[in-house]
Amino acid sequence: MENITTLGEYIIENQSDFPYSSGELSKLLNSIKLASKMVNHEVNKAGLVDIIGGIGDVNVQGENQQKLDVFANTKFIQAITNRDIACGIVSEEVEDYISLHGSDNTNNGKYVVLMDPLDGSSNIDVNVSVGTIFSIFRRITPVGTPVELKDFLQPGSAQVAAGYIIYGTSTMLVYTTGKGVNGFTLNPATGSFYLSHPNIQIPENGQIYSVNEGNYSHFPQGVKNYIKYCQKEEENRPYTSRYIGSLVSDFHRNMIKGGVYLYPNCVKNKAGKLRLLYEANPIAFIAEQAGGKATNGHKRILDIIPTELHQRIPLFCGSSNMVEKLESFL
């Protein structure tokens, strides 16, 4: 492994991409790396210790909280807070934004972090891949003043970094700072992430469509028509249906192999189910940086102006030609 770049080395080598930063963003990414290793350690012990299952509470989303949801949320908040770099955090598990203060009790952080600490956590009990998603913006309020709601309600096009960690057969951290997408795989023997997937590119076309077809009868007609198109025996079709139920896992597979991910609005979720700020935005940023596309069916995800912290939207993303074909049905 001597000749392979570690994540820490890569972050330091590419600090020049941020002339306005004095190393804070690099430290922030390192804090996310640290928390991800702690969460990975707990995920790998699931089933051996009392860390799986629900805790009996419901989060702000109306979803049953899993023990690992709470653990991951705590570890990421602690790691980010301890670096005195961010001025605020939004988490799927917390109703309001968290205002952070430095060790001198001032609010000098330049960045806000938005995150889903454990995406797909309901899969933990059955040993299926889960993940963490994060999005980073520069604050728009003056440094030194309290963080405000408008610091978080920025369009996805303003992101300075975004990424995800997938806890699977191997643990990977994939991220972008607007200069392409790179993937780093954790070596359990050394505890370091190594650059394993440089400059990831989504194939323009693919053979996979990912959607929860159990909700088919509740989908908009255009989505139903596209699914039938995917299933039709013609040219290079039918496509293969692959759906895990963890956004990170489904997107990661399609990014590597080529495919399209669909989570439309439906009768049960009229506005959609996925959250714009810490699910759709970071995934869309990564998709575009890898040469793919991401849309809500009518508009580019990164152009949407958020109106609330836990705003929900439909999401269609993946291989550019497949997303464009899907849009023609919508």
Domain coordinates in residue numbering, the chain:
7-197, 208-329
Place of tokens 């989060």: 59
Query: In CATH, what number does 7-197 get?
Result: 3.30.540.10
* Cα 166 to Cα 15, 159, 298, distances in angstroms: 24, 21, 29
Q: Are 262 and 218 in contact (CB under 8 A)?
A: no
Query: In CATH, what number does 208-329 get?
Result: 3.40.190.80
Q: Are 102 and 109 in contact (CB under 8 A)?
A: yes
Instruction: Give residue 49's pLDDT.
Output: 44
The pTM of the whole model exceeds 0.85: yes
Question: How many other C-beta atoms can be found within 10 angstroms of the C-beta atom of residue 298?
Answer: 8
Instruction: Give residue 83's pLDDT.
Output: 84
Instruction: Give residue 243's pLDDT.
Output: 96
Instruction: Give residue 1's pLDDT.
Output: 44
Instruction: Give residue 24's pLDDT.
Output: 84
Tens digits of residue pLDDT in 132-187: 999 999 999 999 899 999 999 999 999 999 999 999 889 999 999 999 999 999 99
Instruction: Give residue 197's pLDDT.
Output: 96
Instruction: Give residue 59's pLDDT.
Output: 55
- The parts of the chain modelled with pLDDT lower than 70 are 1-3, 18-22, 46-65, 102-106
Instruction: Give residue 81's pLDDT.
Output: 92
Percent share of the chain, pLDDT over 70: 89
DSSP annotation of 235 reads: T
What is the DSSP annotation of 104-153?
A: TS-----EEEEEEEEETGGGGGGT--EEEEEEEEE-SSPTTSPP-HHHH-
Instruction: Give residue 61's pLDDT.
Output: 59
